[in-house]
């Protein structure tokens, strides 16, 4: 993300804010937001960003060398190119969208990534605020098609179930003093999985690992762990030459509306799962 910010701004402070924006992310990442009850904004771990920077002698020495204040780089939300409100396009959303589309879900190849990236420039959004925008409507439409698929993946039934499943197990282990919150910043996820495997939650973990598909129901199923909750809707409706794509392109609007209509109102569960030892 820092390289994306630098590419568009060549501003050191904005770039460093982008570099540090996930420095406070613990193991299991947004699962911890679910544990904290922050499944809609998914920003609860960001509160530690300033503290982590302040506690790093290496980082603070480099900032002092460059005469940059911590307050200028510890909150990427203040820089619109780095981050802005949904559904606008920012460096953060661009980076995780393209990397997930390329590496994780194989929705785009490298040439497709290059085509999208090279078509983006800095434009003006709401109230004249700088915002990343596309030059070509066809390319912007392809980007919306890709990110609309990703948006559903980020909050589909199995995703929400899995994130809350681990969130609840981590919370129970913390309450039992088997895992401290600080462990999430010092242990690898594989190490924490090993700890879970030695507890009363081992069977639930194995059942989750071996599951092929989650189930849904309109009423709460009995005698099994289930969840029913929404999650953060990550979607992008970018500008293209000054116009929001949902207003200038009917196909884009249709894809975005289909994405936003994804139903999160059912109970999601697997049979015979218990996290109550």
Q: HEC states along 60-71?
A: HHHHHHCCCCHH
pLDDT (mean) for 46-75: 96
Inform me whether the pLDDT recorded for 39 exceeds 80. no
pLDDT, the chain, mean: 95
Inform me whether the pLDDT recorded for 30 exceeds 90. no
Question: Rounded distance, CA 4 to CA 221, Å?
Answer: 46
pLDDT band at 160 (very low <50, low <70, confident <90, very high): very high
Encoded tokens for 111: 């040439």
The whole-number pLDDT of residue 277 equals: 60
Torsion of CA 48, 53, 57, 60, to 10 degrees: -150
Which residues form the domain of 225? 1-277
Verify cis geometry, omega within 30 degrees of 0, for the bond prior to 87. Answer: yes
pLDDT (mean) for 244-272: 97
Torsion of CA 176, 177, 179, 180, to 10 degrees: 130
Kindly report, residue by residue over 98-125, the tens digit of the pLDDT: 999 999 999 999 999 999 999 999 999 9
CB 78 within 8 A of CB 13: no
- Size of the chain, expressed as the number of residues it contains: 277
pLDDT (mean) for 241-263: 97
The whole-number pLDDT of residue 40 equals: 84
Residue with tokens 């059942």: 207
User: What values do phi and psi take at 64, rounded to 5?
Assistant: -65, -40
Inform me whether the pLDDT recorded for 240 exceeds 90. yes
How many domains does the chain divide into? 1
Mean pLDDT lowest for which of 15-24, 32-41, 157-166?
A: 32-41
Question: Rounded distance, CA 113 to CA 151, Å?
Answer: 17
Inform me whether the pLDDT recorded for 130 exceeds 80. yes
Question: Rounded distance, CA 232 to CA 229, Å?
Answer: 10
CB 220 within 8 A of CB 144: no
The whole-number pLDDT of residue 1 equals: 97
CB 8 within 8 A of CB 122: yes
Inform me whether the pLDDT recorded for 42 exceeds 80. no
Torsion of CA 95, 99, 101, 106, to 10 degrees: 170
pLDDT band at 218 (very low <50, low <70, confident <90, very high): very high
For the whole model, what pTM was predicted?
0.92
Inform me whether the pLDDT recorded for 37 exceeds 90. no
């Amino acid at each position: 993300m820092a390289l994306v910010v630098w590419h568009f701004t060549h501003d050191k402070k904005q770039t460093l804010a982008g570099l540090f924006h996930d420095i406070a992310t613990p193991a299991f990442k947004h699962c911890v937001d679910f544990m904290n009850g922050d499944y809609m904004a998914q920003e609860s771990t960001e509160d530690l960003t300033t503290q982590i920077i302040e506690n790093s002698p290496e980082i603070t020495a480099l900032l002092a060398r460059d005469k940059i204040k911590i307050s200028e780089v510890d909150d990427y939300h203040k820089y619109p190119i780095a981050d802005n409100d949904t559904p606008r396009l920012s460096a953060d959303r661009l980076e995780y969208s393209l990397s997930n589309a390329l590496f994780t879900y194989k929705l785009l190849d490298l040439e497709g990534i290059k085509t999208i990236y090279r078509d983006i420039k800095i434009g003006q959004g709401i109230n004249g605020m700088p915002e990343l925008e596309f030059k070509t409507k066809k390319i912007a439409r392809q980007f919306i098609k890709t990110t609309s698929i990703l948006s559903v993946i980020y909050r589909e039934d199995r995703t929400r179930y899995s994130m809350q499943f681990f969130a609840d197990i981590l919370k129970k282990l913390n309450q039992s003093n088997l895992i401290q919150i600080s462990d999430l910043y010092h242990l690898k996820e594989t190490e924490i999985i090993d700890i879970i495997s030695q507890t009363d939650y081992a069977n639930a973990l194995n059942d989750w690992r071996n599951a092929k598909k989650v189930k849904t129901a309109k009423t709460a199923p009995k005698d099994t762990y289930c969840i029913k909750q929404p999650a953060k809707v990550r979607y992008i409706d970018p500008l293209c030459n000054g116009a929001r794509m949902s207003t200038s392109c009917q196909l884009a609007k249709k894809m975005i509306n289909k994405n936003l209509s994804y139903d999160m109102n059912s109970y999601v569960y697997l049979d015979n799962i218990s996290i109550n030892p």
